[in-house]
Amino acid sequence: MQTGVLMIILGKTQELKMHKSTDFGVYLADPFPKKESPADIDPHSVLSVDSILLPKAQVPADLKNNDLVTVFVYKDSKDRPIATTTMPPMELGTVAKLKVKEVGQIGAFLDWGLAKDLLLPFKEQVWHVTAGEEVLVSLYVDKSQRLCATMKVYPYLSSDSPYQKGDWVDGIVYEKIDSFGAFVAIDDKYSAMIPNKSLHKPIAPGTLVHARIANRHEDGKLELTLSNLISVQMSDDKDLIFSALKEAGGYLPLHDKSQPGEIEAAFGLSKNAFKRAIGRLMKEERITIEENGIRIR
C-alpha cells in the first residue's frame, strides 16, 4: 500500500488519476504520493482535498478508472477547486501577456482562456490598466488561496537567456525605477534592464522596445541600450540632425556648448552623441558650426 503526502496543487498543470466517475464528471486524485511536500511548492497552493472534479464536458472520451490525465487546477466562479483540460498560457512561476477584459471595483479581470477570468488586483498593478490592453503578468496564490495576477514580474523572470553581448532583442518595459532605469522582460521571460545612462528620452512601463545587449553580467542578467554601435549610431544620428536642419530652413540654434537637456529635447540624443554627429557632418563639409548654432553649408 502506498503511503505519503497526496497533493493537488492550485495553479499548476499536473497529471492526476481518475478516481471515481459521476453523472457530472469524474473525480481525479494524485497518483504519486510524496514523502513530504516539496520545498519549491508554495504551501498556499496545496489544496486540502483528496480528489477534484473534472467536469463532464472536459472528460476525454476514452478515460477509464485509474487512467492518468493532464489537467490544470484552478477555482470556478463559486470559488470551488476544479480541474480542466484547457491549458492557460501560464501557471505558477511563469509569465505571460494577457488581455484586460474589464476593470471592476477590486481590480482588472484578465482573459486567460478559462471559464473564470483572472483577477489582477489594483495593488498588483504597476500602472492602472484599461480594457483591451495587453499586460505582462505572473500568477500567484493570495492568502485566501485565490489565484491572482501580478504585474510585478521581476521575481518570475529568468536570467538564463541564450543571448550574448551585441545581440538585438525585443521586450516590454514592465517597471521604471528612477534611481536605476527601465526594467525589461525579453521574450516575456528573461530579465534585463536599460540603465539611466542609456535612457535619453522618457520611457514608460508597457513600452515595447527593440534594444541591443550592451553587457551580459556573470549572473546572466542583461544590460540593454537603445543605441546602436557607435559607428552605426553616429551615421543614424548625423542623418537625423541633417534632416532636422533641412526642415528648419538650414539653421538650428544648437551647438557643442548647448545644454544636454536642450539637445535631448530636440533629438533624443545625449550631448556626446550630438557632438560626435555634428563633428562628422562638419568633416564631411555638410555644415558649419557657428557661435550660436549649426548651419547647412
Grid coordinates of 27: 473525480
Greatest C-alpha distance within the chain = 92
Distance, in Å, from the CA atom of 242 to the CA atom of 94, rounded to the nearest integer, reads 46
Per CATH, 13-84 and 95-154 having the same topology is answered yes
Distance, in Å, from the CA atom of 211 to the CA atom of 200, rounded to the nearest integer, reads 13
pLDDT over 70 (residue 69): yes
pLDDT over 70 (residue 202): yes
Q: Which of 11-25, 38-52, 128-142, 229-243 has the lowest mean pLDDT?
A: 229-243
- How does residue 206 score in pLDDT terms, banded at 50, 70 and 90? confident
pLDDT for the residue 232 = 46
pLDDT for the residue 266 = 83
pLDDT in tens, 152-185: 999 999 989 999 988 988 999 999 988 899 999 9
In the chain, % of residues over pLDDT 70: 92
Please state which CATH class domain 158-225 belongs to.
mainly beta
Domain ranges in the chain are: 13-84, 95-154, 158-225, 230-296
**What sign has the CA pseudo-torsion 204, 208, 213, 218?**
positive
Distance, in Å, from the CA atom of 279 to the CA atom of 287, rounded to the nearest integer, reads 9
Distance, in Å, from the CA atom of 207 to the CA atom of 204, rounded to the nearest integer, reads 6
**Nearest Cα to Cα of residue 133 among 163, 108, 165, 150:** 108
pLDDT over 60 (residue 35): no
- How does residue 21 score in pLDDT terms, banded at 50, 70 and 90? very high
pLDDT over 50 (residue 136): yes
Distance, in Å, from the CA atom of 243 to the CA atom of 231, rounded to the nearest integer, reads 19
Over residues 214-233, the mean pLDDT reads 75
pLDDT over 90 (residue 1): no
- How does residue 39 score in pLDDT terms, banded at 50, 70 and 90? low
Decide the pairing of beta strands 81-84 and 13-22: unpaired
- How does residue 15 score in pLDDT terms, banded at 50, 70 and 90? very high
Q: What is the pTM of this model?
A: 0.72
Distance, in Å, from the CA atom of 149 to the CA atom of 116, rounded to the nearest integer, reads 13
What's the mean per-residue pLDDT of the chain? 87
- How does residue 38 score in pLDDT terms, banded at 50, 70 and 90? low
pLDDT for the residue 109 = 97
pLDDT over 90 (residue 59): yes
Residue type for 15, please? Answer: E
**Nearest Cα to Cα of residue 138 among 147, 129, 127:** 147
Task: Report the phi/psi class of residue 234: left, alpha or beta, with left for phi > 0 and alpha for psi in -120 to 50.
Answer: alpha
- How does residue 272 score in pLDDT terms, banded at 50, 70 and 90? confident
DSSP string, 250-286: SEES--TTS-HHHHHHHHS--HHHHHHHHHHHHHTTS
In CATH, the number for domain 230-296 is 1.10.10.10
Over residues 98-111, the mean pLDDT reads 96
**What Å distances lie between residue 165 and 161, 220, 222, 249, 270, CA to CA?**
11, 11, 8, 41, 22
Arch. (CATH architecture) of 13-84: Beta Barrel (2.40)
DSSP 118: E
pLDDT for the residue 263 = 82
Residues 69, 57: contact at Cβ < 8 Å? Answer: no
pLDDT in tens, 277-294: 888 888 888 888 888 888
DSSP string, 146-199: -EEEES--GGG-BS--S--TT-EEEEEEEEEETTTEEEEEETTTEEEEEEGGG-
Cβ neighbours, 10 Å, residue 151: 19
In CATH, the number for domain 95-154 is 2.40.50.140
pLDDT for the residue 36 = 57
